[in-house]
């Protein structure tokens, strides 16, 4: 049995199901991201773990002991709130020491541990400031220190970086990852930002409509999305309806695809924009390559890459990403689009 | 305000109105406080401090002051104990009846204080609801005196200021973020510790606001001390009324009124200082 075990967890509200029979195992010291769009139940799951929301059904077990109905203050979970939730009437040191005071840790040890925690998040000397005198990034660190200082069984991070600006977010991402690794602390990280999930966690659970759509490593999720939802939610995607040829094989824009077709039903073809290559019209496809032809609609410079929009005969569009150093073909140019057969995935049309 | 002169015009109607019906009469009151009372009891126009000397030489004035402050403190404190949980509930509840419940909580404001006093007489009187009940249960043999004394006035006054205090508390709860309580719980604080360490400290500004308002209302309350006190409860407000009507001694009434006003302003400044310290 894993260190943290959620099984069949369900939370219903008056007219909706926030979390629907969710099961998840997390090993000791592992870092798992709950990734999904807003309303997918990821925060509710985290709150159930912390004891702030009571599940309707299901079991939460920590280190072999069931804690499903244990009161929040007896769970020893370190929760970092999206808004940080620092106590405005207490200074930084007392914010961080709050959990230690509640645990009856003696003053001398408490002060030492608060000092260590301040050092860990690189806020030495700011212990006597009030939270509102700190910048957003500093407040974030205080919230992290406050959750870590109690040596929690599990660290729970709720969209903890979403209130920071992009540059600071990058820095904090690495910092938190490093702290998480050096303390070997079991971590659950709720986010809607795939970059955060991909870079900060050992495994990612992609959630949709209260369930886990897929769980696996960053590479698994990105390269082998299990469902259409995961494929489109994580990373950029081209998703186009495929036709079936007379022989039952799949075709796209009238050209045969080197991809196995699941039997029966309408299907969509999925391929990532950066896996597509542009070639002069009429250039033949190599072995194990897929190829379609169309004309360039327009190109958009995005900074680190250029998006070239290619329209097929039926007006459907593919987005091709090329390096921003390369010159995109002129608008209206006839081009061939090629990609490796192994980069093609096929999903049933209706399945979510 | 000086940077937005056009905005200041929004204040014009109220200012005009208040000058006419409040500032002008108050100035008149100040004027009367310096008049004298002749041997016949008639008021003599003068610029004299004689009435002031007379009023402050009388130890009764001191007694009235203590009575007023004590009555206001006790009734405001009682009202706060009752209002705080109600306000916290109204602030927190997600019930769809929330606005209805809030209206019910402040409903007593809609009833005249004279009517409310008679309601209390029916409940607290010698043959009132409580005494009859306790007697029929055999808890007491003779009725317990709860009206026409300080007890009755304190209870009645507390009830009459409660709606205002509930509104003031609700307005002052701004900073009370539920997430902070969740943070405290996640850090290991049981509910009562969470209340003591987070909820209560963060609602101190609201409490100060409500307490100040309740105190001012109690200090200036006249009907409740008069009717529920049954002539046995003497405070500044009742004395001013007695002097102005029964004794028709306007200078003394005016001096007492100006004195009460100064007393309230002084206490208000004190509480301002105190609540500003709370904010930091």
Residue A79 near chain B (CB below 8 Å): yes
Contact (Cβ atoms closer than 8 angstroms) between residue A344 and residue A258: yes
The domain boundary residue, chosen from A177, A201, A233: A233
Mean pLDDT of A147-173: 89
SS3 A20: strand
Q: Do A72 and B201 touch (CB under 8 A)?
A: no
**Partner residue opposite B198 with nearest CB, options A74, A87, A146:** A87
Q: Is the pLDDT of residue A196 over 90?
A: no
Per-residue confidence (pLDDT) for residue A328, from 0 to 100: 86
Number of domains comprising chain B: 1
B164 within some domain: yes
Mean pLDDT of A178-189: 92
Name the residue in chain A with its Cα closest to that of B201.
Answer: A89
- Dihedral of CA atoms A258, A262, A267, A271 in degrees, nearest 10, equals -40
DSSP string, A273-311: GGG-EEEETTPPP-TTEEEEEEEEEEEEE-SSEEEEEEE
Range of the domain at A181: 4-233
* Closest chain B C-alpha to A96 CA, distance in angstroms: 10
Beta strands in B20-173 (DSSP E): 36-37, 43-44
Provide, rounded to the nearest whole percent, the portion of chain A with pLDDT above 70. Answer: 98
Per-residue confidence (pLDDT) for residue A282, from 0 to 100: 81
What's the mean per-residue pLDDT of chain A?
90
Q: Domain holding B111: CATH number?
A: 1.10.3720.10
**What is the rounded distance in angstroms from the CA atom of residue A204 to the CA atom of residue A270?**
21
Q: Is the pLDDT of residue A265 over 80?
A: no
Per-residue confidence (pLDDT) for residue A352, from 0 to 100: 46
Q: Do B183 and A85 touch (CB under 8 A)?
A: yes
Element (H, E) at A143: helix A136-148
B9 within some domain: no
Considering the domain architecture, whether residues A223 and A124 belong to the same structural domain is answered as yes
Beta strands in chain B (DSSP E): 36-37, 43-44
Q: Do B184 and A51 touch (CB under 8 A)?
A: no
Per-residue confidence (pLDDT) for residue B62, from 0 to 100: 95
The domain boundary residue, chosen from A213, A233, A253: A233
Per-residue confidence (pLDDT) for residue A268, from 0 to 100: 87
Considering the domain architecture, whether residues A50 and A197 belong to the same structural domain is answered as yes
Mean pLDDT of A275-304: 87
Chain A residues with CB-CB distance to B201 below 8 A:
89
Q: Could you read off the pLDDT of A215-249 as tens digits, one per residue?
A: 999 999 998 999 989 998 988 889 988 888 777 77
Q: Could you read off the pLDDT of A29-71 as tens digits, one per residue?
A: 999 999 999 989 999 999 999 999 999 999 999 999 999 999 9
Per-residue confidence (pLDDT) for residue B2, from 0 to 100: 56
* Tens of each residue's pLDDT in chain B, 280 residues: 456 778 888 999 999 999 999 999 999 999 999 998 888 888 888 899 999 999 999 999 999 999 999 999 999 999 999 999 999 999 998 888 989 999 999 888 888 888 999 999 999 999 899 999 999 998 888 898 999 999 999 999 999 999 999 999 999 898 789 999 999 999 999 999 999 999 999 999 899 889 999 999 999 999 999 999 988 899 999 999 999 999 889 999 999 999 999 999 998 888 788 777 766 5
Number of domains comprising chain A: 2
Q: Do A88 and B198 touch (CB under 8 A)?
A: no
Considering the domain architecture, whether residues A137 and A278 belong to the same structural domain is answered as no
- Dihedral of CA atoms B211, B212, B215, B217 in degrees, nearest 10, equals -110
Identify from A54, A67, A85 which residue to disrupt to test chain B contact, counting B C-beta atoms within 10 A and taking the largest count: A85
Give the end-to-end CA distance of chain B in Å, rounded to a whole number. Answer: 25
Residue A186 pLDDT level (bands cut at 50, 70, 90): very high
Range of the domain at B103: 44-279
B5 within some domain: no
**What is the rounded distance in angstroms from the CA atom of residue B273 to the CA atom of residue B280?**
11
B228 within some domain: yes
* Closest chain B C-alpha to A103 CA, distance in angstroms: 7
Considering the domain architecture, whether residues A158 and A29 belong to the same structural domain is answered as yes
The domain boundary residue, chosen from A207, A233, A259: A233
Name the residue in chain A with its Cα closest to that of B279.
Answer: A89
Q: Which two tokens stand for residue B15?
A: 């200012």
Per-residue confidence (pLDDT) for residue A189, from 0 to 100: 94
Could you write out the three-class secondary structure of A182-224? Answer: HHCCCEEEEECCHHHHHHHCCEEEEEECCEEEEEECHHHHHHC
Chain B residues with CB-CB distance to A86 below 8 A:
183
B221 within some domain: yes
């Amino acid at each position: 049995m894993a260190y943290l075990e959620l099984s069949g967890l369900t939370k219903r509200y008056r007219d909706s199901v926030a979390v629907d029979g969710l099961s998840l195992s997390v090993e000791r010291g592992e870092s798992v991201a709950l990734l999904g769009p807003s309303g997918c139940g990821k925060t509710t799951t985290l709150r159930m773990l912390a004891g702030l929301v009571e599940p309707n059904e299901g079991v939460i077990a920590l280190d072999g002991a069931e804690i499903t109905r244990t009161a929040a203050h007896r769970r020893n979970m370190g929760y970092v709130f999206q808004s940080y939730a620092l106590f405005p009437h207490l200074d930084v040191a007392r914010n961080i020491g709050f959990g230690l005071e509640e645990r009856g840790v003696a003053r001398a040890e408490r002060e030492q541990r608060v000092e260590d925690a301040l050092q860990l998040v690189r806020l030495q000397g700011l212990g006597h400031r009030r939270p509102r005198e700190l910048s957003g990034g500093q407040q974030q660190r205080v919230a992290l220190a406050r959750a870590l200082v109690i040596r929690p069984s599990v660290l729970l991070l709720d969209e903890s970086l979403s209130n920071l600006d992009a540059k600071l977010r990058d820095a904090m991402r690495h910092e938190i990852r490093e702290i998480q690794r050096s303390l070997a602390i079991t971590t659950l990280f709720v986010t809607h930002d795939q970059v955060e999930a991909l870079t900060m966690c050992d495994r990612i659970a992609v959630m949709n409509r209260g369930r886990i759509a897929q769980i696996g490593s960053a590479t698994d999720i990105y390269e082998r999305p299990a469902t259409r939802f995961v494929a489109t939610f994580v990373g950029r995607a081209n998703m186009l309806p495929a036709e079936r040829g007379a022989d039952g094989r799949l075709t796209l824009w009238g050209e045969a695809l080197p991809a196995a077709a699941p039997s029966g039903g309408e299907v969509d073809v999925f391929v990532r924009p950066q896996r597509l290559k542009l070639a002069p019209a009429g250039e033949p496809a190599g072995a194990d390559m897929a190829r379609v032809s169309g004309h360039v609609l327009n190109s958009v410079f995005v900074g680190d890459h250029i998006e070239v929009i290619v329209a097929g005969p039926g007006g459907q569009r593919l987005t091709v990403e090329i390096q921003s150093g390369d010159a995109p073909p002129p608008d209206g140019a006839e081009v061939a689009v090629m990609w490796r057969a192994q980069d093609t995935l096929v999903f049933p049309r209706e399945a979510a | 305000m000086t940077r937005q002169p056009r905005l200041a015009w929004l204040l014009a109607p109220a200012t005009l109105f208040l000058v006419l019906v409040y500032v002008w009469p108050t100035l008149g009151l100040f004027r009367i406080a310096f008049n004298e009372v002749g041997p016949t009891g008639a008021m003599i126009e003068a610029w004299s401090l004689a009435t002031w000397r007379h009023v402050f030489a009388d130890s009764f004035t001191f007694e009235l002051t203590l009575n007023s402050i004590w009555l206001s403190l006790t009734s405001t404190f009682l009202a706060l104990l009752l209002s705080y949980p109600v306000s916290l509930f109204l602030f927190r509840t997600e019930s769809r009846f929330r606005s209805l419940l809030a209206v019910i909580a402040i409903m007593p404001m809609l009833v005249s204080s004279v009517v409310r006093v008679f309601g209390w007489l029916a409940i607290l009187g010698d043959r009132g609801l409580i005494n009859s009940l306790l007697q029929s249960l055999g808890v007491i043999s003779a009725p317990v005196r709860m009206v026409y004394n300080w007890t009755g006035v304190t209870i009645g006054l507390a009830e009459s200021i409660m709606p205002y205090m509930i509104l003031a508390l609700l307005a002052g709860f701004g900073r009370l973020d539920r997430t902070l309580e969740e943070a405290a719980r996640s850090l290991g604080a049981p509910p009562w510790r969470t209340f003591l360490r987070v909820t209560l400290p963060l609602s101190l500004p609201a409490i100060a606001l409500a307490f100040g308002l309740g105190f001012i209302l109690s200090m200036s309350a006249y009907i409740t001390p008069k009717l529920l006190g049954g002539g046995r409860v003497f405070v500044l407000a009742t004395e001013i009324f007695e002097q102005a009507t029964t004794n028709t001694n306007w200078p003394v009434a005016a001096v007492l009124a100006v004195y009460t006003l100064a007393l309230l302003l002084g206490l208000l400044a004190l509480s301002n200082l105190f609540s500003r310290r709370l904010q930091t």
